[in-house]
Amino acid sequence: MLKKLVLPVAAAAILGLTGSAAASATAPPEPRPSAGPLDPGPFHHRLDQLVGTWKAVKENYILSGDGTPIVSRDITVRTSWIAKTGGRFLQERTDGTLGGKKYFRLGVLGFSNIDRRYEWTTFDSVTPTAMTYRGPALSQVTSVLSIPGTFTDPGILGPEYLGKTIPMRTVITLGAHPRFDLYFTPPGQAERLVDRVVYTRRIA
């Protein structure tokens, strides 16, 4: 008699804790809290591929003056998330030589959750102005970031363009060998490639 009482009581206790088998199988999982507008999300995490130290080959099609590329193979790029921004912005520091002169560039790349766009700004030792880019609104994560902007030409395209507003565009291609392509569109001309940097991850 005691055994007959113990079994139903034990079964009732288990059902009280876990519910019926049918209810357990169909119950939806607890929803995870979604990231807020201030939190880094998948568009930020897509840039994790860029983090690290890289050797890079840089081709510049402007500085020669005749359209032939000046090639530099001693470029070092160090990229890391800026911890004090909560991991919202990526900092790129580039050092090396270009055209026989020391070359330096500092870049900041991030994603605006509010505007749904990538934003990219660079400061270098060649151009005496910040180069700022604001991308289009995105609905899904992508491996190719096309980020347009404009700048006021200080004469690097020739004296006839001094003071002119020049449309520009940076295309960042993510992958095993990330590539940064910079395009200018001078007034009355087609868009043309003016600078390319290809990264190779440095092992040591």
Flag whether pLDDT at 91 surpasses 90: yes
The CB density around residue 104, as the number of other CB atoms within 10 Å, is: 13
Burial call 186-195: b when 16+ CB within 10 Å, e when fewer:
beeeeeeebb
**How is residue 180 written in tokens?**
């940064």
Tell me the C-alpha distance between 76 and 90, whole Å: 16
Task: Report yes or no on whether pTM surpasses 0.85.
Answer: no
With beta carbons less than 8 A apart as the criterion, state whether 70 and 63 touch.
Answer: yes
Provide the percentage of residues in the chain whose pLDDT is more than 70.
82
Neighbours of 142 (CB within 10 A): 12
What does the mean pLDDT of the chain come to? 86
Short-list 48, 50, 100, 45, CA closest to 77: 50
- Average pLDDT (93-112) is 97
H-helix or E-strand spanning residue 17: helix 2-18
**Is the separation of the CB atoms in 119 and 133 below 8 Å?**
yes
Q: Which two tokens stand for residue 193?
A: 């490639």
Q: How big is the CA angle at 193 (ends 188 and 199), to the nearest 5 degrees?
A: 160
pLDDT at 117: 98
DSSP states of 72-118 as a string? EEEEEEEEEE-GGGTS-EEEEEEEEEETTEEEEEEEEEEEETTTTEE
Given its phi and psi angles, is residue 188 left (phi above 0), alpha (psi -120 to 50 degrees) or beta?
left
Provide Rg for the chain, Cα atoms.
27
Task: Decide if pLDDT at 198 tops 60.
Answer: yes
Q: What's the rounded mean pLDDT across residues 67-75?
A: 94
pLDDT at 27 over 60: no
Residue 202: pLDDT band with limits 50, 70, 90: confident
Distance (Å, whole) CA 53 – CA 93: 10
pLDDT above 70 for 64: yes
Give 204's pLDDT tier (boundaries 50, 70, 90).
Answer: low
| Mean pLDDT along residues 55-79 | 93
